[in-house]
């Protein structure tokens, strides 16, 4: 096989993109991201850990069972099997990259429990700062890798199609200067869509830009209607709201209604540790009825060690989780849908790949199991990088054409779109509201790519008329 003269271009600086870039060695890689310093990925904000069946009496089959149950059995069973079997080796690989996982005095990994899991199998690093720990370790490895060229401060705005195959990308920097990069393959590792919602745990860059670019080029989407809402964000003013990690409930915190009564009593066998879609809907309903609270005062241990991120966020808003219940709200958190791919990250468009939250290979089904996202991002990135290292070839010659994502919505118009999606496409959805929102986005589709992406999301939500997982329909006899 001839060595590719052009690089593999990876767009996105989260753990999925970095894992793919590292695993693609020795093939040349251009790693591109919007932030000048590579910051701002959702990976760095992840408080949850990595799910892996490492405890006594646990196993990949049990992990897979919980993943399928959380996903409402809408998952691709083969993808679930692969992910759960790959989990222990993924944790070992991360440790070898320098991730300092939390360990007990005897050196064994500390294992926590989160919603939807039937066993303690969540590995953390730095308490509730696992994502940041992964980003630091992988960033150091990428910077030291001779085959990776990192460039920040650029936005991918167009794909080059040549003979029906993606053969390059055009990027624009913060000064408006463009650069065309021919590529042996293009990988979208651009994250999810949470920033399109009024209330979200996501950073501003998680706005679906990579998904919008793929759709404009003709790549097939999958499961766009399935959005996971984290049930416990701190209910304070702002767009990106601080998360109160699910591990708090695993450590003894309890959900309460406005009267101080247990919020989840009698609603699910797992109670406060029910799957996220179940808890998020209950919190959503409670907020319509007076409010919802997380009482973390029973949580034992040193908060500076166990939950430093949560503690700092709460104290910054004048709240102390060690002494008082916290007001909570659900927030847009994770997109189970995305660019349709196989397990090797291949999209329906030759030469275009996707990995992490930007992709959908069916592993999460209709609702992601807690702490499977960092796991999938790393395991999927490593698998994709290895495939590309072995298969990337010289791109076809000849002329091509550029497919544009299109101009962005004016910044002053984004808040209205976010409110529209929050109310029509939130944890509980109603047919007439979805229809009206879709019509508004369709009418304004020329105003910016965010409107066209919102239209595609709303169309998928309208077409699935029955509730499943994170997609909850409570119609009132109105047309979808």
> DSSP characters for 246-313?
THHHHTT-EEEETTS-BTTTTT-TTGGGS-HHHHHHHHHHHHHTT-EEEE-TT--S-HHHH-HHHHHH
Is residue 3 flagged as an active site residue?
no
Tokens of 212: 């919008």
CB-CB contact of 341 with 354 (8 Å): yes
Q: What is the CA radius of gyration of the chain?
A: 21
Which among 34, 170, 276, 382 is annotated as catalytic?
276
Q: What does the alpha-carbon distance between residue 185 and residue 166 come to, in Å, rounded to a whole number? A: 7
Q: What does the alpha-carbon distance between residue 354 and residue 344 come to, in Å, rounded to a whole number? A: 9
Residue 63 makes CB contacts below 8 A (sequence gap 6+) with 51, 52, 53, 84, 87, 121
Q: What does the alpha-carbon distance between residue 316 and residue 152 come to, in Å, rounded to a whole number? A: 30
DSSP character at residue 197? S
Angle at 26 between CA 389 and CA 154, to 5 degrees: 85
Give the helix/strand (H/E) hosting 112.
strand 111-112
- Residues with a known catalytic role: 276
């Amino acid at each position: 096989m001839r060595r590719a003269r052009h690089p593999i271009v990876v767009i996105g600086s989260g753990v999925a993109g970095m894992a793919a870039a590292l695993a693609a060695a020795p093939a040349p890689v251009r790693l591109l991201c919007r932030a000048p310093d590579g910051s701002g990925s959702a990976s760095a904000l992840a408080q949850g850990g990595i799910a892996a069946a490492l405890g006594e009496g646990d196993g990949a089959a049990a992990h897979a069972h919980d993943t399928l149950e959380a996903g409402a059995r809408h998952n691709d069973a083969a993808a679930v099997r692969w992910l759960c079997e790959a989990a222990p080796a993924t944790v070992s690989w991360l440790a070898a990259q320098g991730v300092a996982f939390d360990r007990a005095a005897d050196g064994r990994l500390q294992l926590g429990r989160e919603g939807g899991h039937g066993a303690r199998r969540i590995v953390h690093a730095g308490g509730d700062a696992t994502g940041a720990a992964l980003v630091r370790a992988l960033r150091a490895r990428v910077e030291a890798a001779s085959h990776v060229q990192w460039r920040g401060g650029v936005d991918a705005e167009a794909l080059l199609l040549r003979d029906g195959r993606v053969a390059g990308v055009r990027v624009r920097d913060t000064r408006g200067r463009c650069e065309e990069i021919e590529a042996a393959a293009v990988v979208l590792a651009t994250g999810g869509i949470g920033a399109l919602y009024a209330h979200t745990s996501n950073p501003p860059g998680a706005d679906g830009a990579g998904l919008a670019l793929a759709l404009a080029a003709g790549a097939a989407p999958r499961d766009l209607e399935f959005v996971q809402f984290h049930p416990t964000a701190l209910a304070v003013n702002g767009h990106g709201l601080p998360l109160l990690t699910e591990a708090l409930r695993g450590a003894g915190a309890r959900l309460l209604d406005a009267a101080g009564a247990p919020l989840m009593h009698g609603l699910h066998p797992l109670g406060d540790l029910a799957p996220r879609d179940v808890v998020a809907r209950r919190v959503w309903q409670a907020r319509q009825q007076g409010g919802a609270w997380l009482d973390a005062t029973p949580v034992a241990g040193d908060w500076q060690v166990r939950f430093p991120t949560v503690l700092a966020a709460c104290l910054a808003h004048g709240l102390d989780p060690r002494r008082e219940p916290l007001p909570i709200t659900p927030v847009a958190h994770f997109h189970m849908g995305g660019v349709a791919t196989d397990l090797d990250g291949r999209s329906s468009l030759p030469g275009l790949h996707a990995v992490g939250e930007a992709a959908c290979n069916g592993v999460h089904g209709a609702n992601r199991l807690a702490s499977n996202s960092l796991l999938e991002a790393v395991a999927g990135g490593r698998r994709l990088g290895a495939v590309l290292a072995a298969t990337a070839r010289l791109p076809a010659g000849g002329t091509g054409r550029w497919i544009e994502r299109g101009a962005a919505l004016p910044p002053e118009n984004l808040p209205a779109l976010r409110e529209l999606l929050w109310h029509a496409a939130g944890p509980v959805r109603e047919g007439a509201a979805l229809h009206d929102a879709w019509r508004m986005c369709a009418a304004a589709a020329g105003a910016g790519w965010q409107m066209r992406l919102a239209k595609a999301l709303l169309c998928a939500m309208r077409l699935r008329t029955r509730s499943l997982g994170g997609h909850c329909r409570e119609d009132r006899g109105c047309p979808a």
